[in-house]
Chain A
Amino acid sequence: MRAFVIAVFAFLYLPIALVVLFSFNAGHHASEFTGFSVQWYGKALANPFLVEALKNSLFIATTSASLAALCGTAAALGLARVSVRTRAVFDALLGAAIVVPGVVIGISTLVALVQLFGVVNPFLASIWPDDQPPRLALGYGSIIAAHGLFSMALVTMIVGTRLGSLDRNLVEASSDLYATPLTTFRSIVLPQILPAVVAGFLLAFTFSFDDFIVAFFVAGAQTTLPIYVFASIRRGVTPEINAIATIVLVASVLLVVLAQWQLRQRKPSN
């Protein structure tokens, strides 16, 4: 059995290791390693389209993860205060946001937004005083919102679980000692849920940064890193993509390790 397990771990990591190895290959050929070089990293970072896509992805991931962390945490706190029935409805919607396939989320958001823009844009044009009315279009906003939907649901669940294991006695003791609700929140509840919020943020960031399929539908004229990589892969495998893949893999691993570490943080001792 041990041999089998070792084989499975090899299976999990060998392809990744090969990509990382060949990203440092001096030669152009993917089948033989002809010497160590970081030239492909240089080439990748000198590619303006790639750098633009990377910047877009960083901006979108940061914004959508922040919004998701904020709204998700608020929702988790709010859900602790509502009736069982309201909660059940909300939980079902959150579950749907997580379970519905990305393709379907992407498509339905595209379809709904295009319809919405079709109504809003002529209206804006008719009421706008000059000839340059603002036009709503697919782009940053639609990617951020579509990514944030899944992430917000995830944050709500993670923070909700943490709230569930919160020591009620501490909260009661705090209000018995005449702390205002805000003080209780700041000094008792927040420190305990903060690791869950941060972990949720980091996971949301990773998801948004890695997502291809949702963005593929709602990106409009914008390009994100996965969209760029996908397009380049279809044009042919190059050592430059190996370099990008390595950067992205290392970045996601770091983020996830950070998220796990945050989740495992002990409660601050008083």
Chain B
Amino acid sequence: MHGSRLRKNLLTAMLLGPATAWLVVFLVLPFIAIAVFSVGERAPEGGYQAAFTFAQYANLPARATAFWNTMVLAPVGALACLLVAYPVAYYLALKAPQRWRLILLALVVIPFWTSLLMRTYAWMYVLGGRGIPALLAFVGIEDVRLINTPGAVLLGIVYGYLPLMILPIYVSLERLDRRLLEASADLGATPISTFLGVTLKLSLPGVMTGFSLVMILLLGEYLIPTLLGGGKVFFIGNALVDLFLQSRNWPFGSAIAITLVLVSVVVLIAANRISTRVSGARRVDLI
């Protein structure tokens, strides 16, 4: 009896061992390392030297532009995604012909699983000198600068993350009990008040899931601002790459990284709170 129990525990340990080791060595320890680094000092030749100071955190305003851009463009980008995504999700879940539904859904998902680098590159191509500007010049509108503007970054954000917003909203709308819509209409509600009172309300968990997912990913975004902002629209991700790989100021970079993680955690918790308060319903899990 005792022996078999021991054997069972041993098996469990063997099953979980590699994953635990992986998580500890490549997630927990690195996180502790940057936490320690963030209270250290930059060594004269670059890198890190031990200290205990909060000077790095006090210095965060030096990168205020990156924080400001991220904290503005992340929610605005997520909101723009939402405004475009909602009608699409609504159409796919409630209006599209049954046999088209899965195909259309697959068409939404496919871009999301293809390389963000390549998709962002595609817009660089379209917005760059030889794309739309060349087309505009052809019809007589000269000197239009589209790329390397905040607008281009916003466009890239909507393009890159739209599928991730459509999917959870679709899932929550698809689960919606259609009899509720009929009941609402039978009780004399106008289509608009049915939409606001029933459909929109019941899809809020999906909206919150999509919004927080997109927000979280945008907080750490690097490629879109780099390629479409052309070094003019700095995000926190750009500041981090710059600090670690160019100026080699590891402690300051670590302080920014820790702050970024804390902001992400706050966003996640807030999204969770709001979604449970708004709907009382479970968030839509994507995995």
Contact = CB atoms under 8 A, between A and B. Distances in A.
**B: contact size bracket:** 35 or more
Given A103-B237, A252-B113, A111 B220 contact: no
Interface in B247-261: 250, 253-254, 257, 260-261
A15 B159 contact: yes
B220 A102 contact: yes
A217 B222 CA distance: 12
A93 B28 contact: yes
Given A1-B90, A12-B162, A213-B237, A252 B115 contact: yes
Interface residues of B: mostly helix, strand, loop or mixed?
helix
A149 B27 contact: yes
A115 interface: yes
B16 A74 contact: yes
B220 A158 contact: no
A120 to B, nearest CB: 13
Contacts of B261: 100-101, 104
Interface in B116-141: 116-119, 121-126, 128, 130-131, 134-135
Q: How large is the interface on A (under 10, 10 to 19, 20 to 34, 35 or more residues)?
A: 35 or more
Contacts of B8: 81
A30 B131 contact: yes
Interface string B88-124: 1011100100000000101111110111111101111
B16 A103 contact: no
B113 A82 contact: no
B40 to A, nearest CB: 11
20 contacts: A5-B91, A8-B162, A12-B107, A15-B122, A16-B122, A19-B118, A19-B125, A31-B130, A71-B22, A75-B16, A99-B216, A107-B244, A107-B254, A112-B33, A154-B287, A209-B115, A210-B115, A230-B117, A245-B121, A253-B113
